[in-house]
Each structure stands twice: as C-alpha cells, then as structure tokens.
C-alpha cells in the first residue's frame, strides 16, 4: 500500500448479518481499506450511499425491496463503483452484473481473500472476475456453452430472471413475493411475462423449464 493513499471506504450490502460481519472482519484487517457502513436492504443501502459516499460498495444480488442489480445501477448514477458478492455461480449473473455497471463479481463460495483482492483491483480502475468465471464468460461469448436449457433466457429482464430462478428452486408464488418484498400479484405478472417471452403454455411448463434451467446452471 502507498502510505500517502487513504484507506478505501467500503460499504457492505447484504441481507444476512453473518455475511456482513465476516466481510467486515476481512476488510478491517487490511491497512488500505476500512468498512464505513453496512446495510441490509435496497433502501438502507441507497441512503448509506448518499450519506456516507463510500469509495466502493459490496452488493449482494438478493435484497429485500429491489434487485441488487437495480442497486448496482443506482450506485453507478451516484458515481460509486460496486462489486457484486453473490451466491449465484452461473455466468448469467456475472454477465448481467457487469452489464448493470458492476466493476467486479465474486462468488460467495470463493469469498475471503478474494474480496480483498477484488477491492484492490477495482481501486486500480480494473475489473475483477475470478479465473473460472472469466473463462465461463469467454466461452459464453463465443458460443461454447449450453443454451440455457434450450430457452432464450437472455430475453428476460433481471427481475424476471430472479423470479425464474426461485421458481426453479421450488419456491411458491407466496414465498417468492416474501423473499423479493413484492406483492403476490406482481409475482404472478412476472410469471405471465416469462411464459410469454419463453413461449410456454402453462404453469407446469414454466415450472419444469425453470427447474431444468437451475439444475443446468449448477453443473
């Protein structure tokens, strides 16, 4: 670390306290970075960004109130770089995160020192991707990947993909509504949009396709 450079101020956004605590301990152990604040949902994170003006924000994709991808976009409007720290290992999510403006993507399964390295890379005005994810995105760009279980999932919006993922994980409409902090009617609307875009005729077809898609992404 250059001693003339101040420690980078990091905002942690995650709906799980234990994750925030773990990330904070890692970051505060480093001389060149410090945690300036924490938030558990979209509204709290946005307020913290405005009030604290962090140098970088670590953002989970699964937040109450709105998609983490929407927060990434909002952070960009405030000039705050973001690094997505997510449980999702499919390249679809890394691609969508970078498209939303994130400067890095770290899988929770590989967190730890990886997060510290990602922060330093972003501070150097570079983009961070783990080797495996970078390779997956490269193969995806050049067509060497499975075609999302035969469906054009890329046609879906970020929120629709979030709903599709939860359908594939076996959640009910009520459970999806509670997890995403939206109404049951809104979830039903998303389900109908997904069916229309993917040319599916029934709820059973949607459930089957979503399950296959989630399982394929886990391979």
Reference 139, options 94, 109, 197, 84; nearest CA is 94
Which stretches of 32-181 are DSSP H helices?
42-52, 68-77, 91-100, 113-123, 131-141, 158-168, 173-180
Backbone angles phi, psi at 22, to 5 degrees: -65, -45
Query: In which residue are the tokens 């925030």 written?
Result: 20
User: How many other CB atoms are found less than 10 A from the CB of residue 61?
Assistant: 24
Query: What whole-number distance in Å separates Cα of residue 147 and Cα of residue 127?
Result: 26
Residue range 8-140 forms a domain whose CATH class is alpha beta
Residue 147 has pLDDT above 50, yes or no: no
pLDDT of residue 146: 47
Tell me the average pLDDT of the chain.
Answer: 86
- Span 90-108, pLDDT tens digits: 677 888 888 899 999 998 8
pLDDT of residue 139: 63
pLDDT of residue 148: 44
pLDDT of residue 33: 97
Q: What is the pLDDT confidence band of residue 84, given thresholds at 50, 70 and 90?
A: very high
Query: In which residue are the tokens 């990434």 written?
Result: 72
Chain mean position to CA 28: 23
pLDDT of residue 136: 67
Reference 85, options 75, 97, 73; nearest CA is 97
The answer to whether 148 touches 142, Cβ cutoff 8 Å, is no
- Span 150-185, pLDDT tens digits: 567 878 888 888 899 889 888 899 999 988 888 999
- Domain boundaries, given as residue ranges, for the chain: 8-140, 148-218
User: Which whole number is the average pLDDT over 18-42?
Assistant: 95
* CATH no., domain 148-218: 1.10.10.10
Q: Which residue has the higher pLDDT, 117 or 209?
A: 117
Query: What whole-number distance in Å separates Cα of residue 100 and Cα of residue 63?
Result: 16
Residue 70 has pLDDT above 80, yes or no: yes
Q: Which residue has the higher pLDDT, 149 or 72?
A: 72
pLDDT of residue 144: 45
Residue 57 has pLDDT above 80, yes or no: yes
Residues facing 126 on adjacent strands: none
């Amino acid at each position: 670390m250059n001693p003339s450079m101040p420690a980078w101020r990091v905002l942690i956004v995650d709906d799980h306290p234990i994750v925030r605590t773990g990330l904070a301990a890692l970051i505060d152990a480093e001389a060149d970075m410090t945690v300036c604040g924490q938030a558990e949902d979209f509204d709290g994170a946005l307020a913290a960004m405005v009030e604290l003006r962090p140098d970088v924000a670590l953002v989970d994709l699964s937040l109450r109130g709105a998609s983490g991808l929407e927060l990434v976009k909002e952070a960009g409007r405030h000039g705050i770089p973001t690094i997505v720290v997510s449980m999702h290992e499919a390249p679809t999510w890394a691609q969508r995160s970078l498209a939303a403006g994130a400067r890095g993507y770290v899988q929770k399964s590989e967190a730890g020192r990886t997060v510290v390295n990602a922060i330093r890379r972003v501070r150097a005005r570079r983009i961070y991707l783990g080797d495996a994810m970078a390779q997956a995105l490269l193969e995806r760009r050049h067509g060497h990947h499975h075609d999302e279980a035969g469906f054009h999932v890329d046609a879906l919006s970020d929120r629709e993909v979030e709903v599709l993922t939860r359908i594939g994980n076996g959640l009910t409409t009520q459970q999806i509504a509670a997890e995403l902090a939206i109404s049951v009617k809104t979830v039903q609307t998303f389900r109908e949009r997904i069916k229309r875009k993917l040319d599916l005729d029934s709820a059973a077809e949607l459930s089957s396709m979503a399950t296959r898609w989630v399982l394929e992404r886990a391979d």
